[in-house]
Chains A and B, each alone.
Chain A
Amino acid sequence: MTKILFTDKLHNCVEKWQSAGLTVIGPVQKANSSSYATVKNAGELDFNMVLPDRSIKELFFPQTEPILHYSIKKQEINTRESLPPNEPRIIFGARACDASGLAIDDPLFGWDYKDEYWFQRRNESVIVTIACTKADDFCMCTSLTLAPDSTKGSDVLLRPLENNKGWQVEELTERGREAFAKIADFLQESSEPAAPLAVVEEKFDLDSCVAWLKNPENFDSKFWKEISMRCIGCASCTFLCPTCHCFDIQDEGDTYSGIRRKNWDSCSFSLFTMHTSGHNPRSTQSARWRQRIMHKFNYFPGKFSVNSCSGCGRCSRQCPVDMGITETLQEISKLSQ
């Protein structure tokens, strides 16, 4: 017997959580694009998509976010911090790759200096992940030592039953238990079996790719130029990526008052590393693509012992020129054989 949440009880749960003061967020399809968005009722949630177009990252690290408000008088500067509003929330229907992505970035936002903007939201969020029963051509979690039912970064894991009848409930953390205690009345014990998980084929051999990337000789390989020749240098891959964390700090306002903001930025933009002198350490697109791959699979794991990729496949799925991590690592796999 396992704890089951039946689909027809979901609207009760959503109401219950809302009345307990939780904002309910989940996968929503809207205007030809999907994302994790706040819902008013369970009917807005869409569990049919493989995964939302936009990753869960934006709920913790929005594309633009005020960090400080300033005001200036003659001999006085006032700075007011602009922390995210206190908003306890439950993200119902995260994907395992997205939840893992958050866990991957935690050490980065926390080493020595803690980014309060990230951690306040992390601490206020309950992440309820639904294991995947379907995948598409771009899913590659299994190539990154993850799986459609990985628990990394999740507070609760739900395993779908056959025919969308409901979910088996596996509470993983205290925070998850607390949130599900609130809806205990709507849960049932049942022996209903879980639907089979999505089959995600392994697309490349990660270990051999990492070994190739770590070999300093390959830094100057002509491979980088070839693989990135068609890259147009937009930030679609980095902005949709659940783990890409680079940002810019920008002021908006005048000399009297305004806002300092943290905005997404991308290593694929040529201006990202450009010095004021005009010197640009990464002046070509191939150098920038190499940096992205090296950062994810060599530098970042060197620092935080985890690859900065959870295999969601968005980079490849949405690339305007059909590039992405999958193709690059597949090619590296070939090279390293």
Chain B
Amino acid sequence: MTEHIQNAPQNIYKPAIMKIVAKHDEAPGVRTLKLEFQNPAEHELFKATYRTGMFGLYGIYGEGESTFCVASPETRKEYIECTFRQSGRVTSALANADIGDLITFRGPYGNRFPIEEFHGKNLLFISGGIALPPTRSVIWSCLDQREKFGKVTIVYGARTVADLVYKHELEEWQERADVDLVLTVDPGGESPDWKHKVGFVPTVLEEAAPSPENCVAVICGPPIMIKFTLISLKKLGFDEANVYTTLENRMKCGVGKCGRCNVGSVYVCKEGPVFTATEVSRMPAADL
């Protein structure tokens, strides 16, 4: 499933330079940056290789690099969007960067969601908290060619209303007739005017009870959410082979050398980050 970059630049550690052209605060401590390539050749390479699900290493010289997915879809390759929570040294520096500033980017790396294989199928997206960005990349990649897919259901939850990311896009999906959006917040996280569900994602998912018939599920979220959501999906009759997820292991090189993301027989950066639930179940659970 891995797509190899045949014409990758010779030095695998040398990043591309990107300009921040827009930024947006999604939730407390969570920010989206919109980035543009400065070097046309690097942009062409990105356009030729990027597919939804792949990730990159975003960096600020002097601070380092941090790994997260490309949050923009493969149907929109003029720019890169990334969404991250400000927590460590690099993400703090990225959060402090302003429009017009230059940052570094290495990638796109890893494998992808095989969305051609999803053609004609119903899609179920399940996501929690800050894990919406990788899901969002797949969602838009599919919505941008809506006619190729069946029913689209999105179940998204966060701890509190404030923690929901991409609020403007949630509204957009809410209004679309061709998308079923189920929003939820954890008990106690609702605001007085909250009109959607209150409850944990797996519970809300079971209530919504999407049919497993001809359906592919994509789930991204914290490990604990994934664990319980997989149980719920099983109850609903989903086959593990039709359930996709992404792993977010710690990485440094992104290209299968530094050893950090190795779990079981898999180097997540090369053979992942996208795996089916069947593949994940073969990995040693304790090391995830």
Contacts and interface: CB of A to CB of B under 8 A. Distances in A.
Q: Do chains A and B touch in the complex (CB under 8 A)?
A: yes
A253 B249 contact: no
A254 B60 CA distance: 10
Main secondary structure of the interface of B (DSSP, over half): loop
B257 A248 contact: no
A295 interface: yes
A115 B259 contact: no
B6 to A, nearest CB: 9
Interface stretch (B12-20, B145-153, B166-174, B194-202): B12-20
B260 A276 contact: no
A79 B14 contact: yes
Interface stretch (A5-13, A51-59, A279-287, A320-328): A279-287
B88 interface: yes
A67 B256 contact: no
B288 A112 contact: no
B252 interface: yes
B115 interface: no
Contacts, number: 123
A276 B87 contact: yes
A113 B49 CA distance: 14
B253 interface: yes
A235 interface: no
For chain B, the bracket of interface size reads: 35 or more
A111 B61 contact: no
Given A279-B223, A281-B288, A303-B265, A249 B252 contact: yes
B12 A116 contact: yes
Contacts of A282: 287
Interface in B232-288: 248-250, 252-253, 255-260, 262-265, 267, 270, 284, 286-288
Given A75-B102, A220-B286, A265-B259, 19 more contacts: A75-B100, A77-B61, A79-B17, A111-B270, A112-B5, A113-B8, A216-B284, A247-B257, A249-B13, A249-B64, A249-B65, A249-B253, A260-B13, A273-B249, A276-B87, A276-B91, A282-B287, A287-B286, A298-B265
Interface of A: 67-68, 70, 72, 75-77, 79, 81, 83, 108-109, 111-116, 216, 219-220, 245-251, 253-255, 258, 260, 262, 265, 267, 272-277, 279, 281-282, 287, 291, 295, 298-299, 302-303
6 A-B pairs with the lowest CB-CB distances in the bound complex, closest first: A246-B259, A113-B255, A70-B61, A276-B88, A276-B87, A302-B265
